[in-house]
Structure formats: C-alpha cells, structure tokens
Amino acid sequence: MIKQLEIKLRPADLGKDEILRQRVIQQLRCKPEDLSEVHIRRRSIDARGRRPFFRLRVDAYLQENAAAEPAILDQYQMVDEAPAVIIVGAGPAGMFAALELIELGLKPIILERGKDVRARRRDLRAIQQFGEVNPHSNYCFGEGGAGTYSDGKLYTRSHKRGNIEKSLRLLVEHGAKTDILIDAHPHIGSNKLPKIVANIRETILHYGGEVLFDHHVTDFIVENGEMRGVIVNDKQEYRAQAVILATGHSARDIFHLLHRHEIHIEAKPFALGVRIEHPQPLIDKIQYGQKHREDNLPASSYRLACQVKERGVFSFCMCPGGLVVPAATAPGELVVNGMSLSRRDSPYANSGTVVAVEIEDMAPFAKHGVFTGLAFQQSVEQAFFNHGDGGQQAPAARLTDFVRGKVSQNLPDTSYIPGIYAAPIHELLPSGIYDRLRQGVQEFGRKMKGYYTGDATVIGTESRTSSPIRIPRSRETYMHEQTKGLFPCGEGAGYAGGILSAAMDGQNVARAVHRYYT
C-alpha cells in the first residue's frame, strides 16, 4: 500500500533519512517494520513564518516496495542508417530535439556555430578578462547554447507545453542530481551544466547522430518554396527533408537570412531593463529573517512584479548566490545576464529587472519594420557599450542614485568580473523604460522591506530576455506556415523562454518532424 503525506522538516533535519522515517511512522501510526520505503516526491521551502522549514510531499510504501522506473535512454535505438533531420543550434531546444528524434528512430545532425563546452570556456575567459567578444563563441553561442553557462534554473510556468518530468529525467540520466526531480525550484548550476551537456552530446553520437561544431549556418537551401537544407560556412551543403531551426534569441543573422529569403517573420514584444545586485545576506535577512543562513537553507530568492503606466515591471531570472556575467554576442554591445554555481554561494544575489516593451513603445524604430524590436534592443546595447572605454566594463549606479537620476559617487563591490563604473544609467536607458523602472523598484521596496537600498547596484543593460522576433509556425504541424520543411523551434522562434521550455519545445518539434516523415 502507498500512502501520501506531507512532512515538515527543520533545515537541520534535511537529508537525515532516519528522522524522516520516524516522522512518517509517527504520522501514519504504523509499525516500523511495516514501512518499507519512503520516497520524497516534492520539496519546497516555506519561509512565511518566523522560522523557515522544508515542506515535503512523500510516498510511504507499506509492506511493499517501489517499482524501479525504466531509464528513458534504454528505449533508444541506433539511427545511423535512418533518415536525417538537420538541427541548427545546439542549445536546449536543439539538443532535446535530437534526443527525441533518436527515440523516434530518426537521425539528428546538429550544426552548431560555436565550439564544444570545453573549448568555449577559453572564449568566456577572453570576454571576462579582456572584453573580447567572439561572435561565434560566447555566453549565448556554443555547445549547450545560452543554457550552458547559466544559472541552470529549471522551473517553468509552461506546464501545458510539454512533459516537464521527461525533460528533468533526461537531465538526471545525463548526470544531474536527482534533487531536480523533487525540488519546487530545481537548479543545476553552471559548474555542473557543461558535463551534462557533454554527456548529452555523447548520447547523440553513440546512437548514430552527428554533432558538428564550428558549423555556422550562413544560408538556406530553399527550392520551390520548400526548405531543403542549409549552407554552412558559406560553402558546405547539408540537405534533409526537414530543418529544425533552434538558433536562440541572439542569432540576429538568422533573422536577416529568413527575411532575405522572404520567409515570413514577425516583430514581437519583449522586455528590457537592468540587472540589480544585492548583498545575499541582505536578501536572506529579508526572506528568512536570518542574516547568517542556517545549514541546508539555500540562498534565498525573490520574485517581484508590478504595473507601471500599463506596462509590467518585473524581476526576471533571479540568481541567488550568483554572478552577473557579460552576455553580448558581438563586439560593440554591452549586455548583462546572471548565472550561479550549484552551491549558490557567492555573496551576491542578482536578478534581471525589466520592463515589458510593446511594439508601439518602439515607434522611433518603426522604419526597421519587422526588425523594429531588434533595432531598439541593439541601440540600447550599443549606447551602454559606447559610453565605456571599449571593453565589457559595465555602467552602474547605486539603486537609490538610479532612482534619483544621479551618477553615484562610488559603487558597492560586485560579482561582475569585467568590472563596473559609475555612469548615468538613467540617461542611457530609453526614457519610457527608465521611468517605469524607477517607479517599479520603489514599489518593490514597499513590497519587500529592505530591497530598496543604496547597497544594491544597478548594472546595465539586461536586454536578451526573449526574442524580439517570432518565426510563426502552424499550431498543428509546428511547421512554418509558408515554408514546408522548416520547423522553427525554441526561444529564438518565440516559442520558449528558458532552458526547460526550450527543451520541451525541442521535443514537441521532433515529434512533429517524425509525423511529417511518416
């Protein structure tokens, strides 16, 4: 018999199996010898009371044992002789599409402009230390895509979009901790992600798929209005009946290429703003009432949102115990983002703090037509870059000075390795964005006492929140409405926002391609 129950545990008791067992026995009033196994199904933190505690949902097995679940990878088959599918981009969307294709008996060929995870690391160091951005290998481009050197947060609100559990189990089968299957806010960390990404590549190769690095797709092969393949590095042809385009939100050349081929794309709303960094102990004090967190309590986080003048202002991609990183994909731009290691133990907490941007908010850029959002985004990134000395040092201000429209006299310490300098961020941001952010962060300070402080640093600009362009596709076939054989996929196409939703979109698209092939 299986009984489901909820158990509350103090942080100090987390991970102590005997204590958990005793609590289950007490709650069920069963004989100890009748309790065969206890499985935690869900784990969350409740910090609403005076002292935070863990809330566990468990399955207690009485006089029986849990059945072992078969591994997903056990169902894979060799596909080296199977019909090929081209996947452009080795981000979460592309890689999970490849895994799904293998499961369905098709051969994925991934073409990735960047390098493998190990070689990519050198290019990240060049950005951090020398401000040099390689347009093919950076925080967004390369094996694993933008997700590899990220925070690795794995929660999504897109529950209807796919099979979350399957995506998480695949990550576990490639080396992630089983904790991600039970945590309410699962997280991997950028020190662990590269190994998992490399393991996924090994699986794809093992079953007969291909993963090709330094393969920059520079053109499409379109014949009679149908996508027949792609050209790599201006010379090499790859042909297949279907092309999954999973190039992410920063592949600006791909958007231009689609437009040149008269393949319909659309401007779409997105969000833009800054990253705000607080001392982590301050956030812990606010959220847990503890400046020095007790053992087992993870660095605390927050999620804040409000409306200012009919636009949402919200925190985004919060990285407790994390680092602010330079995420530009081309020289001449300044873009920041956030990541964290698995232990989330840096002394800083940061989050993107952004304003929703609708098409009508970008009227001065309307002459760019479908590229309106992209041109607006790029102009802000260039303004932040041009204000500096040509490197990746980022303009910054204390939060209170930012609100007052002042340049800070000095700045708090930061996790951002290229460094920050005091600058008039209030002038570098478009006025509609600045005005809303200014009001929004004050509102956040009222909602979360202690948030609005001069000890927090505003760093700009956070502009790659989602794609400013959508590549429309049919809801039924997942194929581009006009271009047969083209399957837009993941965040760049406008159908995902985050690692997990991109992975699930990859799986959905792979199933659609399978239907198209059979």
Ligand X SMILES: Cc1cc2nc3c(=O)[nH]c(=O)nc-3n(C[C@H](O)[C@H](O)[C@H](O)COP(=O)(O)OP(=O)(O)OC[C@H]3O[C@@H](n4cnc5c(N)ncnc54)[C@H](O)[C@@H]3O)c2cc1C
Stretch of 40-48, 390-398, 439-447, 493-501 lying at the interface with ligand X (CB under 6 A): 493-501
Q: If binding is defined by CB under 6 A, does position 111 make contact with ligand X?
A: yes
- Least Å distance between CB 463 and ligand X? 11
Look at residue 464 and give its three-state secondary structure: coil
Nearer to ligand X, 218 or 442 (CB): 218
How far apart are alpha carbons 513 and 94 in whole angstroms? 13
- Name the strands in the sheet holding 226-232, side by side, starting at the edge strand that comes first in the sequence: 217-223, 226-232, 236-239
Q: If binding is defined by CB under 6 A, does position 492 make contact with ligand X?
A: yes
Among 11, 52, 131, 145, the residue binding ligand X under the rule CB under 6 A is: 145
Among 24, 60, 82, 91, the residue binding ligand X under the rule CB under 6 A is: 91
Residues 6+ apart with CB under 8 A from 325: 128, 139, 149, 336, 337, 338, 339, 416, 417
Nearer to ligand X, 7 or 101 (CB): 101
Residues 6+ apart with CB under 8 A from 157: none
Q: If binding is defined by CB under 6 A, does position 147 make contact with ligand X?
A: yes
How far apart are alpha carbons 323 and 337 in whole angstroms? 9
Among 11, 131, 209, 248, the residue binding ligand X under the rule CB under 6 A is: 248
CB 469 within 8 A of CB 259: no
How far apart are alpha carbons 409 and 424 in whole angstroms? 11
Q: If binding is defined by CB under 6 A, does position 496 make contact with ligand X?
A: yes
CB 96 within 8 A of CB 170: yes
Among 277, 361, 401, 491, the residue binding ligand X under the rule CB under 6 A is: 491
Among 76, 141, 384, 434, the residue binding ligand X under the rule CB under 6 A is: 141
Among 98, 299, 327, 397, the residue binding ligand X under the rule CB under 6 A is: 327
How many binding residues for ligand X (CB under 6 A)?
45
Residues 6+ apart with CB under 8 A from 475: none
Nearer to ligand X, 91 or 445 (CB): 91
Buried b (16+ CB within 10 A) or exposed e, 383-392: bbbebbeebb
Among 108, 373, 445, 498, the residue binding ligand X under the rule CB under 6 A is: 498
Reported as type and span, the H/E element at residue 499 is helix 499-517
Residues 6+ apart with CB under 8 A from 299: 280, 283, 284, 293, 320, 321, 344, 345, 349
Q: If binding is defined by CB under 6 A, does position 317 make contact with ligand X?
A: yes
Among 82, 87, 133, 251, the residue binding ligand X under the rule CB under 6 A is: 251
Q: If binding is defined by CB under 6 A, does position 339 make contact with ligand X?
A: yes
How far apart are alpha carbons 208 and 108 in whole angstroms? 8
Q: If binding is defined by CB under 6 A, does position 270 make contact with ligand X?
A: no
Among 88, 104, 196, 271, the residue binding ligand X under the rule CB under 6 A is: 88
Nearer to ligand X, 34 or 253 (CB): 253
Nearer to ligand X, 91 or 440 (CB): 91
Question: Which residues between 29 and 58 bind ligand X (CB under 6 A)?
Answer: none
Nearer to ligand X, 502 or 512 (CB): 502
Among 152, 373, 445, 494, the residue binding ligand X under the rule CB under 6 A is: 152
Question: Which residues between 186 and 245 bind ligand X (CB under 6 A)?
Answer: 216-217
Would you report the helix, strand and coil content of the chain in percent, each value rounded to 5?
35, 25, 40
Q: Which of 269, 270, 274, 271 is nearest to 444 (CA)?
A: 274
Look at residue 509 and give its three-state secondary structure: helix
Residues that bind ligand X (CB under 6 A): 88-94, 111-114, 139-142, 145-147, 150-153, 216-217, 246-248, 251, 253-254, 317, 325, 327, 337-339, 490-492, 496-500, 502
